[in-house]
Chains A and B, each alone.
Chain A
Amino acid sequence: MRTARTPHASRAARSRRVALLAAAGLLVAACSGGGDITDSGEEPATTVSTVPGDTVAPTTTVAPDLLPDCPTDALASATGTTEIMFWHGMSSTLAEELQRLADVYNSSQSKVHVTLVGESYELTIDNYLQADPANKPDLVQLPEYMVQAVVDTESTVPVGKCIEASGFDTSAFLPTALTAYSTQGMQWGMPFNVSNPVLYYNKKAFVAAGLDPNKPPQSLEELREFSQQIVDSGAATYGLALDSGFDSGGGWYVEQWVAKAEEYYVDGDNGRTNRATQVLYNNDTGVELLTYMQDMINDGLAVSVGDNATGTDDLVKIADEQQPAAMAIHTSAALGGALDLLASGIFPQLSVDDLGIGPMPGPGGQPGALIGGASLWPVNSEDPVRIAAAWDFLTYLVGAQQQSEWAATTGYIPVRTDALELDPYKTTLATDPRFSVAYEQLLASPDALTSAGPVVGPLREMRSVLAAAISAIFAGADVKTTLDAAAEQANNLIADYNARNT
């Protein structure tokens, strides 16, 4: 009996062997390799230094004839009501105001009826990219970091073609807002909701520290000086709250700071004259800037609130009862909501008037910022009437009166100068100058491609790579090594993206 194995036992032994082998295989595999997950064997660009004005390759322009036409006159001959779908990325107060504007549009005429579908930006992007052409909306709102990726889908009608076909007057538009959504000589999207980062600060803490509450810091030197004074006087535990979220301190602000230093973020003149192949943020400017931030944290002048998972952790830190920070850098789009919140009395120690707004401090100490926010993209449904209807609704949304109302409610910057002359925004500006800070710093931006921000396919993923690096730097990692590693990973992403999408 000792030698005779039952069939059952041998099967059990065999499957045990198989399981053990599989486990061993996993462990062996785990010990080898260690490449980058996005590495598909595409060679990333080798590092060359690119300085503004020193274009490496000849400028390329797209041929408008190869792009879809924008039949803006098709609506005039159409009969009945044209139903169109608009996908947007707004939520709460912003979504309500957008819906109100759409309702006014729908009831003001009977040729076009627009239906709004709102999700987060991220979901709107994913849904848009992955929807069948037949299921795509007629108009879509996409954030500034999506320009190249959407251009590459070849699914939209360039706004530039619509402007040309209809003779739409863009002379009142902010040039920087238009430039942000154009590459290689073509206007792709129409800026709609424009924001940029500004400095939110607690005026009471400024007073307590002996600082002028109406003079926020502008340069990085002042930022450090003021923070020191705030911490020394005990007016607040920290001067500045920093975060490393990929859409804020870990990504977007770095793009801002690089622009404020009047340098390019990616090559190809920020990807706007040529397709970008590599990032440039691991240069001296980048290292200097992040060393400065790291020192602020190490010296107890700034505090990192982490990845900013809620998107408001840095602002809440200003209202923290136990260990507050006096300042935080945050998008101007949150101003309306922040004032509403303070007015509700949820933070008894901070009133509506205690919140100060200043330009985003940065290298050079000059106001100036890249635009953030989102733009409107008419979708190529191949139905001239629906394209024309989408264009009609688009021109309504960027009309001077609508932009005035939109800006007054939300804190976004109007995309056109004539909106400032119209109520309600005119009154808002006159009664609350805090709303004009973001607008003024945008006007102050130099008219150069360094101030237009980077355009590169995987910008969203690159921000998350940089955010991880900045999170590590805030936690004490070596600045240069960390930035170099992030740059290498970002360059891999670009090479991989370009290989998959062109």
Chain B
Amino acid sequence: MKRKLRDLPPALLMLVPSLALLGVWTIYPLARAIDYGHKRCDSTFRNCTDAGWDRYSQVFQSKQFQDALMVSLKLAVMTVPIGLVLGIGLAVLADKHLKGIGIFRTIFSSTVATGVAVASLVWFVLLQPQIGVLADLLSDWFPKLKNPGLLNDPDTALPAVALSSIWASLGFTFIIMMAGLQSVPRDLYESAYVDGAGSFRRFTNVTLPMLTPSILFVTVVLTTRALQSYGEIALLTQGGPQSTKATTTIPYLIYGNNSVIHNDIGTKSAAAVLLFLLCLVFAALQFRGFGKRVHYGN
């Protein structure tokens, strides 16, 4: 006990830099947002009145928030499983000791170096109905590419955004999975082989269990990323097609240029805090859901 107390001052001292950064950039803004969330303010965000804490439940239950929540959840459902499967698939493909495999590893991981903005612009140009390459090449089979364009159709806009999003985060998933694969002890494969396990059995009984920590990590990150998507939406669809607000995610409802709460810091903050809670709940659910299935080795 005494020893622990003696260690406290230097420990705190060493924590100061990160605590300060966390405090200034995360804790303080969060506290301000929570406070703003129960206020009604003018357009300058300076003159506010108290609107009561039930403003949070009003915002949560509002049609706009519920619609945006559905869009965000749909986006997560579209991007997370496909992103995971593709990431694992590419990683398994590239986890071979072949000549020149490094080139493929570089290609597969290259989207890590591509920001959301760049990735979205690439897809925006590809999908553009009048001058885009995809519309030119494939519109005979998929007429929607040309008219009205995938991003302009209420049914295809969100999948098209998801496509861009999956592509953009594939590099990240690939790298984490690669690292996960490389840390699987080779002797596990060898003993499985000796026991007569075929390559499929080796994958399901050795590779996948050993990858579970990486899969959990990637699932949490990808889900949070999907719930927080803003850049793709702002560049590809601006939350549209507006008829159904088909791609207005919660972050776009909060920050979007054409949002009805654009100049309403109170409502925006309430929505942002609710989004934070949602991400928290989902991360907690995922940790619980994976539970003991996560194999951290011995």
User: In the complex, A231→B145 CA distance in Å?
Assistant: 22
Query: Which residues on the B side are within 8 Å of A468 (C-beta)?
Result: 242-243, 245
Given contact pairs A15-B288, A246-B258, A307 touches B242 in the complex (Cβ within 8 A): yes
Cβ-closest chain B residue relative to A15: B288
Q: B40 to A500, Cβ gap below 8 A?
A: yes
Report the interface size for chain B: residues with CB under 8 A from the other chain: 54
**B95 on interface, CB distance cutoff 8 Å:** no
Query: Which residues on the B side are within 8 Å of A475 (C-beta)?
Result: 154, 241, 243
Q: Which residues of B in the span 17-65 have a Cβ within 8 Å of any Cβ on A? A: 40-45, 51, 57-65
User: In the complex, A464→B238 CA distance in Å?
Assistant: 11
Cβ-closest chain B residue relative to A317: B130
Q: A316 to B243, Cβ gap below 8 A?
A: no
Cβ-closest chain B residue relative to A247: B258
Cβ-closest chain B residue relative to A482: B243
Query: Which residues on the A side are within 8 Å of B126 (C-beta)?
Result: none
Cβ-closest chain A residue relative to B41: A500
Contact of B263 among A23, A26, A129, A155 (CB under 8 A): A129
**B267 on interface, CB distance cutoff 8 Å:** yes
- Min CB–CB distance B282 → chain A (angstroms): 9
Cβ-closest chain B residue relative to A321: B130
Q: B242 to A38, Cβ gap below 8 A?
A: no
Q: A36 to B62, Cβ gap below 8 A?
A: yes
**B85 on interface, CB distance cutoff 8 Å:** no
**A339 on interface, CB distance cutoff 8 Å:** no
Q: A12 to B291, Cβ gap below 8 A?
A: yes
Q: Which residues of A in the span 1-38 have a Cβ within 8 Å of any Cβ on B? A: 12, 15-16, 18-19, 22-23, 26, 29-30, 32-38
Contact of B278 among A26, A130, A319, A465 (CB under 8 A): A26
Cβ-closest chain B residue relative to A318: B130
User: In the complex, A461→B63 CA distance in Å?
Assistant: 16
Q: A34 to B66, Cβ gap below 8 A?
A: yes
Query: Which residues on the B side are within 8 Å of A33 (C-beta)?
Result: 57-58, 60-62, 66
Query: Which residues on the B side are within 8 Å of A122 (C-beta)?
Result: 257
Q: B243 to A471, Cβ gap below 8 A?
A: yes
Q: B262 to A129, Cβ gap below 8 A?
A: no
User: In the complex, A471→B154 CA distance in Å?
Assistant: 10
Q: Which residues of A in the span 296-336 have a Cβ within 8 Å of any Cβ on B? A: 303-307, 309, 313, 316-317, 319-320, 322-323
Query: Which residues on the A side are within 8 Å of B148 (C-beta)?
Result: 304-306
Q: A464 to B237, Cβ gap below 8 A?
A: no
Q: A36 to B63, Cβ gap below 8 A?
A: yes
- Min CB–CB distance A394 → chain B (angstroms): 23
Cβ-closest chain B residue relative to A155: B44
Given contact pairs A36-B63, A323-B146, A244 touches B288 in the complex (Cβ within 8 A): no
User: In the complex, A322→B129 CA distance in Å?
Assistant: 10
Q: B42 to A500, Cβ gap below 8 A?
A: yes
Cβ-closest chain A residue relative to B235: A309
- Min CB–CB distance A490 → chain B (angstroms): 9
Q: A307 to B64, Cβ gap below 8 A?
A: no
Query: Which residues on the A side are within 8 Å of B259 (C-beta)?
Result: 461, 464
Q: B262 to A461, Cβ gap below 8 A?
A: yes
Query: Which residues on the A side are within 8 Å of B281 (C-beta)?
Result: 19, 22-23, 26
Q: B242 to A250, Cβ gap below 8 A?
A: yes
Query: Which residues on the B side are within 8 Å of A316 (C-beta)?
Result: 130-131
User: In the complex, A129→B284 CA distance in Å?
Assistant: 38
**A117 on interface, CB distance cutoff 8 Å:** no
Query: Which residues on the A side are within 8 Å of B243 (C-beta)?
Result: 244, 468, 471-472, 474-475, 477
Q: Which residues of B in the span 126-146 have a Cβ within 8 Å of any Cβ on A? A: 130-131, 139, 146
Contact of A36 among B51, B64, B146 (CB under 8 A): B64
A-B contact count (CB 8 A): 154
Q: Which residues of A in the span 36-51 have a Cβ within 8 Å of any Cβ on B? A: 36-40
Q: B260 to A16, Cβ gap below 8 A?
A: no
Query: Which residues on the B side are within 8 Å of A474 (C-beta)?
Result: 243
Per-position binary interface string of chain B over residues 249-278, scored 1 when its CB falls under 8 Å from any chain A CB and 0 otherwise:
000010001111111100100010000001
Query: Which residues on the A side are within 8 Å of B261 (C-beta)?
Result: 37-38, 461
User: In the complex, A153→B47 CA distance in Å?
Assistant: 10
Q: B241 to A307, Cβ gap below 8 A?
A: yes
Cβ-closest chain B residue relative to A316: B130
User: In the complex, A122→B245 CA distance in Å?
Assistant: 20
Q: B57 to A323, Cβ gap below 8 A?
A: no
User: In the complex, A244→B245 CA distance in Å?
Assistant: 13
Contact of B284 among A19, A30, A36, A149 (CB under 8 A): A19
Query: Which residues on the A side are within 8 Å of B72 (C-beta)?
Result: none
Contact of A149 among B263, B264, B291 (CB under 8 A): B263
Q: B262 to A306, Cβ gap below 8 A?
A: no
- Min CB–CB distance A460 → chain B (angstroms): 7
User: In the complex, A16→B286 CA distance in Å?
Assistant: 10
User: In the complex, A126→B263 CA distance in Å?
Assistant: 8
**B93 on interface, CB distance cutoff 8 Å:** no
User: In the complex, A126→B271 CA distance in Å?
Assistant: 19
Given contact pairs A30-B69, A500-B264, A37 touches B258 in the complex (Cβ within 8 A): no
**A276 on interface, CB distance cutoff 8 Å:** no
User: In the complex, A477→B243 CA distance in Å?
Assistant: 9
User: In the complex, A246→B242 CA distance in Å?
Assistant: 10
Q: A153 to B152, Cβ gap below 8 A?
A: no
Query: Which residues on the A side are within 8 Å of B61 (C-beta)?
Result: 29-30, 32-35
**B171 on interface, CB distance cutoff 8 Å:** no
**A119 on interface, CB distance cutoff 8 Å:** no
Per-position binary interface string of chain B over residues 184-211, scored 1 when its CB falls under 8 Å from any chain A CB and 0 otherwise:
0000000000000000000000000000
- Min CB–CB distance A329 → chain B (angstroms): 17
Contact of B57 among A29, A303, A317, A501 (CB under 8 A): A29
Query: Which residues on the A side are within 8 Å of B264 (C-beta)?
Result: 38, 496, 500
**B147 on interface, CB distance cutoff 8 Å:** yes
- Min CB–CB distance B99 → chain A (angstroms): 45
Q: A16 to B62, Cβ gap below 8 A?
A: no
Contact of A307 among B62, B63, B240 (CB under 8 A): B240
- In the assembled complex, 14 residue pairs joining A and B whose CB atoms fall closer than 8 Å, in A order, are A12-B288, A15-B284, A34-B66, A36-B64, A37-B65, A122-B257, A129-B43, A306-B148, A309-B237, A317-B130, A468-B245, A472-B243, A474-B243, A475-B243
Q: A126-B262, A323-B147, A468-B242 are in contact. List 15 more A-B contacts (CB 8 A).
A: A18-B284, A19-B284, A30-B66, A37-B62, A152-B42, A153-B44, A307-B237, A307-B238, A309-B238, A320-B130, A460-B262, A461-B261, A465-B260, A467-B242, A500-B40
